[in-house]
Structure 1
Amino acid sequence: MPLTRRLFLAAALATAGCAYTGPDRTVRVAAGEPGGFYVEFARLLAAELADAYPSTRASVVETLGSVMNIAKVGAGEADLGLVLVDAMTAAQDGAPPFPRATRLPALGRVYENYMQLVVPARSRYRTLADLAGRRVSLGATGSGAALFGTRMLDAAGVSVEVDHHPLAEAAEALRTGGVEALLWSGGLPTPALTDLDDAIGIRLLDLEVTELRRRHGAVYDRVTIPSGTYRDAGEVTTVGVPNLLVASPAVPADVVEATVRVLVQRAGDLVPRQALGTQYLDVRSLIDTAPVPLHPRAAEAYRELRG
């Protein structure tokens, strides 16, 4: 019988308890920048793993984002990693910025990242095209935002002066006028952007997904940032990119199973505090990792949880 969302959800909610009784393990989770959604989710995941399976020690590795996480997991410097699906598909193909093909199996689709193109509320910029020739931070080198930012500009036919800053530096540069816009890929709301909004007032620009999908496929979604996410009252249409939890092929099968069980059975405890009420881990979507293949043991674990 095929594993469908409906069957999986019904069984997951009916299944209780955890079966892992294996040896002591240390699990390193490649996450993201301080203050971002990745690192907060990774900390919650590490805590829940350690609580559910006392023989598992989990640690969070702070990074600059998806591209760096893929490199770390691929090199064996981390066991699990949080990555955007567009970065992972580029890695599978050996497409820029990856020098060679890297294939990592997914344990689940965990969240949707929202591309947030931020300008000061007082600025005259209303569209991406208005930023032509201006200085824009497109995320830190090694981040998913940097990869997306390049694709975004190419698809729109817009040329800007590109900077690459981690989020904290980009926010300070926007506050002081060092850049005129910043691109961030993350959850809603992002605390660093909330702080920036409190300091100077920010506005988010609409982003169009049609040409991105034509060029790169269904790794991009059209999503809406609700009004009130930041102080700007307007609703914003932007691009969403699914977030995957991937694993090194060397991770033992029992650790894969333990992680899947935590994702399913403790989903409600894996929402970073700043995102409560705006985002959640939908257990029905965990298996929807295409075009990145699901880890074979993860697929088995989901079937077992189905009953």
Structure 2
Amino acid sequence: MINRSLILVMACLLSLSVNAANYSIGTGGQSGIYYPFGGALAKVWSENVPEVNAKAEVTAASVENTIKVVRGDMIAGIAMGNVVLDAYNGQGKFPAKMPVNTLFALYPNLVHTLTLEKSGINSLADLKGKRISLGAPGSGTAVTSAALLESIGIDVKKDIKAVYLNYSETTNALANGQIDAGFIVGGQGVGAVTQVALTHKIKILSITADESKAFIEANPAYSAYSIPADVYNNVGAVSTLSVWNVLVVNANMSDDMAYNLTKSAYEHIGDIRKVVKMAEMTTPENAARLQGVPLHPGAKKYLDSISK
């Protein structure tokens, strides 16, 4: 006869296992940095937060991740700061204010405006009339690229032939001559750009000081950034824009959950850095890099506890 106590213990364990399996982290395409970062974070959380068994989910990135976090479909999502700021304020792609907070900032995304060396395209203004990939639908890249072009007077619906492709699709289309240029807004050394630079002579367009200043005034989540020479094969230094990526969560997440997720991430950040070099910038000092969107109270409680 089976011991009733044993049955109860097994039932409890099964219940905990089922509950812990219902979490995902919104990332992006597999050729960017979001996906490996999310995978490494999911592993840390699964191993160190008892009630969480997380997995990385491939998505169209920032906008989709933010929406799914708000709907309760994801425990967290990686997103560009400008998208999360729009969600919090009910602007851009978001018709109303969304209940979003951040756990912490991750690393800065950089605007890569890619073309081939032989294209004859030397500035943002030269993109007018060209076939341009603005990024995957529902991505932060698509939001940023459209806003940047609009800021210099290029109407993305009238003045260019716009297509919406993810990182790898953009570089493949560029290499095959299907587009003239494309935007990738990703971390320094992003894989898709690194790979195409090894097989083709590419150019990353610089953003002038005046263009940068005008854009930042209208989009305060961004700042100027210089990509050093030789980050990508045979590409010199590039003046561009940066925006911090953050981990976005639903503002209604419990304080205990937010505290435990933040604590485990920082205590095991070394494991994440083994997978994603950009995680070197994921530090408590950088946690509140995105101004205008509050840290979740549970995350802030942990950060306050280690700053004393």
Give the C-alpha shift of residue 51 in structure 1: 2.5
Aligned length: 283
- The Cα offsets for residues 215-266 of structure 1, whole Å up to 9 and x where unpaired, read as 122x011011111111124100100001111112343333211221133222
Give 1 or 2 for the bigger CA radius of gyration.
2
Corresponding residue for 2:212? Answer: 209
Q: Which has the higher helix share?
A: 2
Instruction: Return the structure number with greater relative CO, CA threshold 8 A, min gap 6.
Output: 1
**Following TM superposition, where does structure 1 have runs of at least 4 consecutive aligned residues deviating by more than 4 angstroms?**
none
Say whether the 8 Å CA contact 2:37–2:276 is kept in structure 1: no
Corresponding residue for 1:18? Answer: none
Corresponding residue for 1:8? Answer: none
Change in 2 beyond 3 A, CA 1:288/1:131: closer
CA distance in 2, matches of 1:111, 1:75: 25
Computed over aligned residues only, the root mean square deviation of the Cα atoms, in angstroms, reads: 1.9
- The Cα offsets for residues 96-154 of structure 1, whole Å up to 9 and x where unpaired, read as 22233213011011110011111112221111111111011010110001111111011
Q: Where does 1:237-248 land on structure 2 (aligned, <5 Å)?
A: 237-248=239-250
Say whether the 8 Å CA contact 1:188–1:275 is kept in structure 2: no
Corresponding residue for 2:98? Answer: 102
Say whether the 8 Å CA contact 1:134–1:161 is kept in structure 2: yes
CA distance in 1, matches of 2:288, 2:86: 20
Say whether the 8 Å CA contact 1:187–1:275 is kept in structure 2: no
Opposite residue 197 of structure 1, the aligned amino acid is A
Opposite residue 115 of structure 1, the aligned amino acid is V
Corresponding residue for 2:10? Answer: none
Corresponding residue for 1:178? Answer: 178
CA distance in 2, matches of 1:285, 1:114: 17
Q: Match for 1:82 among 67, 78, 82? A: 78
Change in 2 beyond 3 A, CA 1:252/1:28: farther
CA distance in 1, matches of 2:118, 2:136: 25
Q: Structure 2: 5+ residue runs without aligned partners?
A: 1-15
Opposite residue 302 of structure 2, the aligned amino acid is A
CA distance in 2, matches of 1:70, 1:104: 8
Opposite residue 213 of structure 1, the aligned amino acid is I
Corresponding residue for 1:13? Answer: none
* TM-score in terms of structure 1 length: 0.86
CA distance in 1, matches of 2:235, 2:63: 33
Corresponding residue for 2:298? Answer: 297
Change in 2 beyond 3 A, CA 1:262/1:224: farther
Using the TM superposition, name which of 99-108 and 74-83 deviates more.
99-108
Opposite residue 134 of structure 1, the aligned amino acid is K
CA distance in 1, matches of 2:291, 2:264: 21
* TM-score in terms of structure 2 length: 0.86
Change in 2 beyond 3 A, CA 1:274/1:181: farther
Q: Structure 1: 5+ residue runs without aligned partners?
A: 1-22
Give the C-alpha shift of residue 163 in structure 1: 1.1
Using the TM superposition, name which of 148-157 and 120-129 deviates more.
120-129
